[in-house]
Each structure stands twice: as C-alpha cells, then as structure tokens.
Amino acid sequence: MSTPASRHHKRPRGEGQWALGYREPLNKNEENKKNDDGLNVRQRIIDVYAKGGFDSIDPADLRGRMRWYGLYTQRKPGIDGGKTAILEPEELDDRYFMLRIRIDGGQLDLRQLRVIADISNEYGRGTADLTDRQNVQLHWVEIESVPDIWRRLEEVGLSTTEACGDTPRVIMGCPLAGIDADEVIDATAQVREIHDRFIGDPAYSNLPRKFKSALSGCTAHCTVHEINDIAFVGVRLPTGETGFDLWVGGGLSTNPMLGKRLGVFVGPERVADVYGGVIGIFRDYGYRRLRHRARIKFLVNDWGVEKFREVLETEYLKEPLPDGPAPEAPRGERRDHVGVHPQKDGNFYVGFAPKVGRLDGDALHLIADIAERHGSGRVRTTVEQKMVILDVAPDRVDSLVAELEANDLPVNPSTFRRQTMACTGIEYCKLAIVETKASAMNLIDELERRLPLFAEPLTVNVNGCPNSCARIQVADIGLKGQLVVNDRGEQVEGFQIHLGGALGASAGFGRKVRGLKTTAEDLPDYVERVVTHYEAQKKEGEPFAD
C-alpha cells in the first residue's frame, strides 16, 4: 500500500517535510519551535518578563516566540543600513518593541478604535501605522506594558495573537463586506469562522513559515488575492449560487510567485474546512529545511495544482470539491475604496487616505470622533494603508468629507497620495537598508506640487529592503531600498527600480531594470521623469504596466 510519503516524495533531498518523516529539526528556527511552541510565550510574558523587564527575556523568546504575539524588537536608532547585514541581532535590537494588532477583515468599531488610540498614546509614544495587511502597528512598546495592553485589547475583542510568527496571520477581508452595493458575496461570517477555529490553535501554531490569507467577495478584488498564500475570491455560478474560487501559493519577497487557481468552487459553508485543509497541507508537507524555501508557494510550484488539489481532497477533506469558475475581471482600475460610494442600505461609505498609512493616537481619536459626529459607529482599514468610515447618511456626507479633508485625511486625494505605499523602513525595522516613510511622504508632496494635474492610476510602492513588505513587484513603480553611489562617489541611501508590475487582468511582476537606481535624494526627480515620459508616450487607454 502506498503511504503519503511514498506518493509525494519526489525530491532527492529531504526538505524537512513532517509528512515524509522529517521530524528532527533541520535548522535553528525549527529547533526553537520544537523546544517550545510559540503560543506558550504568552504566560511567560505575563508572569516573568513583564515583571523582570527586558533583561529577563530568554533570547529564544526575544527573537523567536514573541512574534507569535505580534512583538518584534525594533531597530536601535542611529544604525545605518550598511550595517544591517553585518551586525549580530543583539546589536540591532532596541529595548523597545513593535506591536502588531491584528484586525481581521479590517473591521473596527469606534470603541475598538479608541482603545487602540489610547494604547498608542499611553504605551507607544503616539505611534500608529496602518499596514498594507489591515493591521495597526505601534512602536516604542516596553515589555512591562504588554499584559495591560493585551487586557485592554481583549476587553474589546481585539488581540495580537499570531499577528506575526510561523502562523496563520491576519485574515484579510474586503473592508466593505456586507455593505458594498456591488459585492458578489459577503465573506464576513467566513473571516470570523476561520479566525475562531484556527487562530491560537496549537494544532496550527507551528507552520513552516508565515501564512498569509485573504477572503473576499469584493468586485474590485481589493484583497490582492494573487499574492497571498491562500485566497478565496467571490464567484457566482450560472445558477446564481455564490461562493468562492480558491487560490494558493502566491507571495512576493525574493522569489515572487502569483497564486494559482485550484479550479474548485467552495461554498460558503465549506470555507473554514478548506482553509483548515490547506494549512494542514502546509504544516505537514511544507518545506522546513531552508527558511527561504519554507513558504507554501514553493510546494505548490513543485507539486502543481492538480496534485495539490488531489491531496487536499483525498487526505484532508475526504471528499472532492466541485469544479468552479474563475472570478470576473476586477471592477475599475483602482482596488482601494477611497472616495464616497453607495452602500446596499442607502447610506454611504467614505474612504480616505492617510499619508503612507502613518497616523498617531490623536489622529485615531479624531477619526473616531468625526465618524461618531456623523452617525457612524464603524470604521475599516484597507490593504492599501487607507481607512473607510461606514454608514454615513446621505445628508451627512458633505460635512463628513469636509471635516476629514480639513484634517489632512483627504477623501479626494491626488493619485500620488492615494496610490503610494511605504513599508516600515529603517526607522524601526531591523532588516531595513534605507528609510522609507519620510522618503515616500516627501515624494508625494513633491509630485503633487510638480504634477498637479496628473490623475491616472499609478502605484508607487516604497520598500526598505528586498523583502517586499510594501509589494515592490506588483507596483507600477516599485522601489527596493539599497545603498547606491551618488554623483560625488559617496555611498548613500537609494532604490533599485522595478517598472510595470500589476495585479488584476494583466497581473505580472515589474521588471527590475538593470542598472536603474536612484538615490533617495533624487527620488522625486526620477519619478517625475518616469511619469512625464509615460504621459508623453502613452497611447489612448494604455495603462502604465504596458
């Protein structure tokens, strides 16, 4: 009789797959996880580290298991990017943490928003960055405050559990789930069910690496399903029945791959089971020997979709899934939800654009107050570092928009403001080579001043290193931080340029243009030249990626 091992073992050298019998850890990360599950650090933080302070933290927890609760040590200030790859981790570590709060589906009520704002002001020196996965990140957090932060978050139904680490991280969802007049299907219940069944479950807390999820019935395809480890995309059958098309194996970083359709139809009632099956495959068959090959995309790529589907159906679900259609092409050219749009119920939602997701505790309070004054009790975070206020009555829209605009939260932003994203960068990130947020903010200001009439969709994604947290390869202009040599022969911060990446109907990765680099200082000049050239050369209706 064939065993799973004999059927799936093709690679000549072991990849550390549990299902093939490789239970002995093959690298340090795997060893740490075997020694003690990441989830177990919570009690030590409460009982020991918060009382004993930073120096009491076991190094294996500090640089490993803390991530299972969204905690990373932040970069010590003043260390330049040239030292990132040279210094030992303890030399880069500050005594403060970044804390990532997971916001599944981007859904927040005003009480939750105000709690985050209070925590930011009391424990995070006012920092609050919106990420491109709908989370909020605080900085400057001390270990002593973590138990109180958790208590306050948990009182309002929020948490940091598995916000980072080798786990199923935040479940991204359309911010307009259940209210968008155009959506194919409301995926709110499925986001909740996946969260409740799998997040914090020790059966799935030791995956080979991180696992990114998206689940949406949005016709704008706003959750970037092509570049997630797993994605469910809303589809409608010819019978009118609605459900999801399943994608697996997308991801960027240094080996970018687009997700692949398995060609199955997943009814709403089966989504959580299928999700469990796919993370089960990843846990059992995912490669663990080399960290850089430990994402599910490598397994999907090696197996192919037919084998992946067969293993999912036979070993994990124990029954086949029906074939299903591909999603329709996305609505419009912009996937965000910025601007004023109708809801199903006759009210409106209003999306606005904080600059590269950078907010602070006071701004979060202000947003909560503005929303409340206009009759709204719900806000959303988007995957583009933006926010949306829901449930605004028709006669309150103008006043809401005016108040947001007056506070530099534009509802009608320039293309540059609307479609520029930036990762954390050297200000706090230990892997960074260059600064990103300030460079991107300066770029937006300069381009708005120099090209005030430019209104085409154009994405500019600024990343501080090759890791692509802000999605280098799928932007029209993707910027990868590195050190470059300027005209005076000095080594300075700069960017390698990727041009013409896209998602949607023409999904593809931007081309790294060999030799094409700019210093951070010259970035506005460079982007201005590219945009001006595109304007002059483009044919009618031609998008930037062409």
The residues of the shown chain that bind ligand SF4, judged by CB under 6 A, are 423-425, 429, 431-432, 463-465, 467-469
Beta bridge pairs of residue 128: 359
Residue number of the CB atom closest to ligand SF4: 464
Is-contact 184 150, C-beta < 8 A?
Answer: no
From CA 36, how far away is CA 38, in angstroms rounded? 6
Residue 72 DSSP label: E
Task: With CA atoms as reference, report the closest residue to 362 among 113, 112, 104, 136.
Answer: 113
When the beta carbons of 280 and 425 are compared against ligand SF4, the nearer one is 425
Is-contact 375 392, C-beta < 8 A?
Answer: yes
Structure tokens at 264: 């199955």
From CA 38, how far away is CA 167, in angstroms rounded? 9
Q: In whole angstroms, how close is the CB of 531 to ligand SF4 at the nearest point? A: 23
When the beta carbons of 131 and 216 are compared against ligand SF4, the nearer one is 131
Q: In whole angstroms, how close is the CB of 253 to ligand SF4 at the nearest point? A: 9
When the beta carbons of 343 and 482 are compared against ligand SF4, the nearer one is 482
Task: With CA atoms as reference, report the closest residue to 104 among 45, 180, 28, 159.
Answer: 159
Task: With CA atoms as reference, report the closest residue to 309 among 239, 246, 229.
Answer: 246
When the beta carbons of 190 and 463 are compared against ligand SF4, the nearer one is 463
When the beta carbons of 74 and 112 are compared against ligand SF4, the nearer one is 74
Beta bridge pairs of residue 519: 494
From CA 214, how far away is CA 203, in angstroms rounded? 21
CA 114 to chain centre: 22
The radius of gyration of the chain from alpha carbons, rounded to an integer in Å, stands at: 23
Q: In whole angstroms, how close is the CB of 469 to ligand SF4 at the nearest point? A: 3
Q: In whole angstroms, how close is the CB of 420 to ligand SF4 at the nearest point? A: 14
When the beta carbons of 170 and 431 are compared against ligand SF4, the nearer one is 431
When the beta carbons of 442 and 467 are compared against ligand SF4, the nearer one is 467
When the beta carbons of 163 and 388 are compared against ligand SF4, the nearer one is 163
Q: In whole angstroms, how close is the CB of 466 to ligand SF4 at the nearest point? A: 7
Q: In whole angstroms, how close is the CB of 429 to ligand SF4 at the nearest point? A: 3
Which stretches within 156-235 are classed as H helix?
188-198
Residues with Cβ within 8 Å of 137's Cβ and at least 6 positions away in sequence, in order, are: 98, 99, 100, 101, 127, 128, 129, 131, 424
When the beta carbons of 20 and 128 are compared against ligand SF4, the nearer one is 128
Residue 318 DSSP label: S
Q: In whole angstroms, how close is the CB of 472 to ligand SF4 at the nearest point? A: 8
Q: In whole angstroms, how close is the CB of 422 to ligand SF4 at the nearest point? A: 8
From CA 230, how far away is CA 417, in angstroms rounded? 29
Q: Is residue 77 classed exposed, middle or buried when 0-12, 13-18 and 19+ CB atoms within 10 A define those classes?
A: exposed
Q: In whole angstroms, how close is the CB of 357 to ligand SF4 at the nearest point? A: 12
